[in-house]
């Protein structure tokens, strides 16, 4: 497929998933590479929201001359979003996790933030909020792992870098070096200069207060007002502190 996006978008590498396959770990490490630049918000979800190219690029202010990173794992569930990414981006990365342990991890993760998690698990339909107006529903009853992966591979072709989650767990440095080669950036990562914390450890580092506020809908009600009133840098700090546990 021919890329039709402006050159500025071609320099955005997109990690399309899978959710619960190490994308946050990847975000926390890749953003420290001198030739890469990540947004303050890990999950921009540009292709799942009403967002212009200018608004998209605004997330990467100060990234001039570097490859930018859009790490939005919910893209994995949306074929329309994947189609847009295939048409507009040169670099696309997918972390692939074994389906049995993956759905168990996904259900446990959603359970931390949604009071309807038990019902979702019993029905096999998992709703994931993108913003106040939009959400994605993953239907595990109709999901065929190999068929969906085959569709993603066909859609993205040779530009797709596919990384097994098992490799990320067993040899994370090899994964980082593979991504460096794929993106054509300098040889930076080495033993001792990246985090070797367990990927997707149960419990994680996310603030219990943040999880509680999300579960009870408090953030949905007040977040738009807070985001309007607080300075951008403070909003970014709060997100890093309470969402990513930094």
Q: Is residue 136 a part of any domain in this protein?
A: no
pLDDT of 243: 54
Q: Give, for 93, the enclosing helix (H) or strand (E).
A: strand 92-96
Q: Is residue 193 a part of any domain in this protein?
A: yes
Instruction: Answer yes or no: do 216 and 96 share one domain.
Output: no
The Cβ-side half-sphere exposure at 124, using a 13 Å CA radius, reads: 5
Instruction: Answer yes or no: do 113 and 68 share one domain.
Output: yes
CATH of the domain at 29: 3.40.50.300
User: What is the pairing mode between strands 92-96 and 36-38?
Assistant: unpaired
Measured distance CA(72)–CA(16) in Å, rounded: 6
Instruction: Answer yes or no: do 34 and 69 share one domain.
Output: yes
Is cis: bond before 32, omega within 30 of 0? no
Instruction: Answer yes or no: do 111 and 211 share one domain.
Output: no
Instruction: Answer yes or no: do 195 and 210 share one domain.
Output: no
Q: Is residue 138 a part of any domain in this protein?
A: no
pLDDT of 126: 73
Instruction: Answer yes or no: do 163 and 218 share one domain.
Output: no
SS3 37: strand
pLDDT of 73: 92
Asked if residue 189 lies in contact with residue 176, where contact means CB atoms within 8 angstroms, the answer is yes
Number of domains in the chain: 2
Instruction: Answer yes or no: do 32 and 96 share one domain.
Output: yes
Instruction: Answer yes or no: do 85 and 14 share one domain.
Output: yes
pLDDT mean by block of 10 residues, the chain; 246 residues: 64 94 92 92 88 92 93 93 94 95 79 65 74 76 91 95 96 97 97 77 54 55 63 65 52
Q: What is the pTM (predicted TM-score) of this model?
A: 0.79
Instruction: Answer yes or no: do 68 and 159 share one domain.
Output: yes
Instruction: Answer yes or no: do 59 and 151 share one domain.
Output: yes
Encode pLDDT of 65-123 as tens digits.
Answer: 999 999 999 999 999 999 999 999 999 999 999 988 988 887 776 766 556 667 777 77
Instruction: Answer yes or no: do 166 and 237 share one domain.
Output: no
Instruction: Answer yes or no: do 192 and 217 share one domain.
Output: no
Q: Is residue 137 a part of any domain in this protein?
A: no
Q: Is residue 101 a part of any domain in this protein?
A: yes
pLDDT of 6: 62
Q: Is residue 130 a part of any domain in this protein?
A: no
Backbone angles phi, psi at 77, to 5 degrees: -85, -15
**For residue 103, what are the domain limits?**
7-117+143-200
């Amino acid at each position: 497929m021919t890329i039709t996006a402006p050159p500025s978008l071609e320099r955005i590498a997109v990690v399309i998933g899978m959710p619960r396959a190490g994308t946050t770990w990847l975000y926390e490490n890749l953003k420290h590479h001198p030739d890469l630049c990540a947004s303050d918000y890990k999950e921009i979800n540009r292709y799942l929201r009403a967002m212009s190219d200018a608004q998209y690029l605004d997330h990467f202010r100060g990234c001039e001359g570097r490859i930018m990173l859009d790490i939005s794992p919910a893209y994995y569930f949306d074929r329309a979003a994947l189609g847009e990414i295939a048409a507009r981006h040169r670099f696309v990365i997918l972390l692939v996790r074994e389906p049995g342990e993956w759905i168990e991890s996904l259900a446990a993760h959603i359970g931390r933030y949604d009071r309807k998690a038990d019902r979702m698990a019993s029905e096999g339909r998992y709703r994931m909020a993108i913003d106040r107006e939009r959400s994605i529903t993953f239907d595990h009853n109709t999901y065929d792992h190999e068929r969906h992966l085959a569709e993603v591979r066909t859609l993205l072709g040779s530009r797709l870098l596919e990384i097994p989650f098992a490799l990320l767990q067993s040899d994370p440095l090899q994964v980082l070096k593979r991504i460096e080669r794929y993106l054509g950036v300098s040889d930076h990562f080495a033993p001792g200069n990246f985090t070797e914390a367990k990927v997707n450890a149960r419990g994680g580092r996310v603030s219990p207060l943040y999880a509680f506020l999300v579960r009870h809908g408090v953030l949905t009600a007040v977040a738009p007002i807070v985001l309007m009133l607080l300075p951008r840098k403070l909003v970014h700090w709060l997100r890093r502190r309470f969402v990513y546990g930094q």
